[in-house]
Amino acid sequence: MSKGKAISLHGDQWHEWILKNLARGVNPSSMFDQMVGGVWRRDDACEALNEGLQRVESPRPWGVELPRIDHPPRVENGAGKPVDVLCEMEDPHAIVMDGVLSEEECQGLISYAYEKGLNRSGVVDRESGERISHDSRTSSSVMFSRAETALIDRIENRLAALTNWPVERGEGLQLLQYEPGQEYRPHYDWFDLENHGARKHTRSAGQRVATTVIYLQPAPIGGATRFPKRGIEVNPKKGGAVFFANTTIRGEPDRSTMHAGTPVEEGTKIVVTYWQRERDFQRQ
């Protein structure tokens, strides 16, 4: 879409509605909700409202900047294949993609993880902020540091370009392996600032604003990523991924992002998770 054209994307009626309401001083964030509840994609609605604010000569910030994926993404994987968007939804704002990593890249990450060794996965304790084992998360995992290998560096830079978000704001990739019966029960990735332990994790880099789960090896049966509040389940192919924004456009934790890794029924599922923060991230 060329600059200045988002406002006309859905015809004259919407165009006039946007200008009329902004000129009357209506709050752009409540207009945003109506637009996305109608025909608008979230990123187009933001752009159209910003264009509208320019036109009514009242440009002002009204929402937070968040990672966002271009439509279509202008990013290629390690085999030179463009990343493909298969499906996009709102509430939560989630995008399912194909070909984020090539087969070789998937295999390279798995081999490197096995060299390092995997341990039982943990969750963040609400009070202490320490990582603890919990029945709700039974996978094994390994964390990588930023740019730990040339392959990891390349993948992080690709994910940063794909989501239009600085690579410095990404946490290190985390590889998770689930055997039959293993799962990650419904949870949120955003930190609940009511909890002392969670506050410790947001002090320097802020909230986790987006998550991308990349499938390196889907399980033949079971092991989908499920959004139980919406009854939606996704199970991308090898190299595919699901991205979702953890906060609303107002920067509040988005409760519709509750998600789970459903139990694997057969085979082994291996994914990497990439979390992105509001500000630059340094591992504590």
Q: Which is nearer to ligand AKG, 232 or 271 (CB)?
A: 271
Minimum CB separation from ligand AKG for residue 234, in Å?
9
- Alpha-carbon distance of 274 to 85, in angstroms, equals 18
- Alpha-carbon distance of 32 to 270, in angstroms, equals 37
259 binds ligand AKG (CB under 6 A): yes
Minimum CB separation from ligand AKG for residue 240, in Å?
12
Minimum CB separation from ligand AKG for residue 145, in Å?
18
Q: Please tell me the count of residues contacting ligand AKG according to CB under 6 A.
A: 9
Angle at 141 (CA atoms; ends 136, 142), nearest 5 degrees: 145
CB neighbour class for 166 (10 Å; exposed up to 12, middle 13-18, buried from 19): middle
Residues 119-178 within binding reach of ligand AKG (CB under 6 A): 176
From the list 125, 202, 113, 188, the residue with the least C-alpha distance to 151 is 113
261 binds ligand AKG (CB under 6 A): yes
Q: Which is nearer to ligand AKG, 240 or 261 (CB)?
A: 261
Residues 168-227 within binding reach of ligand AKG (CB under 6 A): 176, 184, 189, 213, 225
3-state secondary structure 15-42: HHHHHHHHHCCCCHHHHHHHHHHCCCCH
Tokens of 202: 């947001």
Tokens of 277: 């923060």
254 binds ligand AKG (CB under 6 A): no
Q: Which is nearer to ligand AKG, 33 or 179 (CB)?
A: 179
Minimum CB separation from ligand AKG for residue 12, in Å?
43
Angle at 83 (CA atoms; ends 81, 85), nearest 5 degrees: 140
Minimum CB separation from ligand AKG for residue 122, in Å?
11
- Alpha-carbon distance of 102 to 192, in angstroms, equals 35
Minimum CB separation from ligand AKG for residue 184, in Å?
5
Q: Which is nearer to ligand AKG, 63 or 186 (CB)?
A: 186
CB neighbour class for 279 (10 Å; exposed up to 12, middle 13-18, buried from 19): middle
**Residue showing the smallest CB distance to ligand AKG in the complex:** 261
Q: Which is nearer to ligand AKG, 83 or 213 (CB)?
A: 213
> Which spans of this chain sit near ligand AKG (rule: CB under 6 A)?
176, 184, 189, 213, 225, 259, 261, 271, 273
